[in-house]
Amino acid sequence: MAIDKIDYQKMTQDALRGVVRAALDIAAKDGLPGDHHFFIAFSTGAPGVNISARLRERHPEEMTIVLQHQYWDLDIAPDKFTIKLSFNNIPETLVVPFAAVKGFLDPSVQFGLQFENGAPKTAQTDAAALETETKDSSEGDDADKGETETGDSEVVSLDAFRKK
């Protein structure tokens, strides 16, 4: 087998992470249009990730955030994004390099990207299954809940949406 000296896998991964960057850039500039909202899973131990010790303790390996109703100060840089969210009524600023992103999902249009083992995958999701899985995961651990317009938001796992 020939050795890939160009590293097409990395180039593809970087290009697909550019889709995540572009979607977040739209949200930062204009807000989320229509029913769009994002689930973003990232590795909490990846280089450059900056979250509080409290969140790192609760999510030592991976964390999923939801950008929908309440988020503040979303700032997009070429290699990372910064966002302020509320967890249990405590504001937290998160810094997430795009290289740490493991999954991106916009259930409003059934679009998702998954980054595993350096190989990105696109994923179509079923909106009804997503809603069911989100409700199921939100019933488990109240400690992960933050604040939205209704007072409840949650950190959920994208594992239920991943193809095995």
Are the beta carbons of 116 and 158 closer than 8 angstroms? Answer: no
Q: What CATH number is attached to the domain comprising 18?
A: 2.30.30.220
Within a domain: 151? no
pLDDT at res. 139: 32
pLDDT at res. 78: 94
The model's pTM is: 0.71
Ranges of beta strands (E only) in the chain are 38-43, 62-67, 72-76, 80-87, 90-97, 101-106, 111-116, 119-123
pLDDT tens per residue across span 55-79: 999 999 999 999 998 899 999 999 9
Within a domain: 160? no
Query: How many domains does the chain contain in total?
Result: 1
User: Residue 95 and residue 63: Cα distance in Å, rounded?
Assistant: 12
46-to-98, 101, 102 alpha-carbon distances in Å: 10, 9, 11
Within a domain: 36? yes
Within a domain: 56? yes
Within a domain: 135? yes
pLDDT band at 52 (very low <50, low <70, confident <90, very high): very high
52-to-40, 101, 115, 125, 130 alpha-carbon distances in Å: 17, 18, 24, 31, 28
* Nearest alpha carbon to residue 39 among 56, 20, 12: 20
Range(s) of the domain holding residue 33: 8-139
Within a domain: 158? no
Are the beta carbons of 83 and 67 closer than 8 angstroms? Answer: yes
Within a domain: 97? yes
pLDDT tens per residue across span 24-45: 999 999 899 999 999 999 999 9
Residue 75's identity, in one-letter code, is: D
Within a domain: 162? no
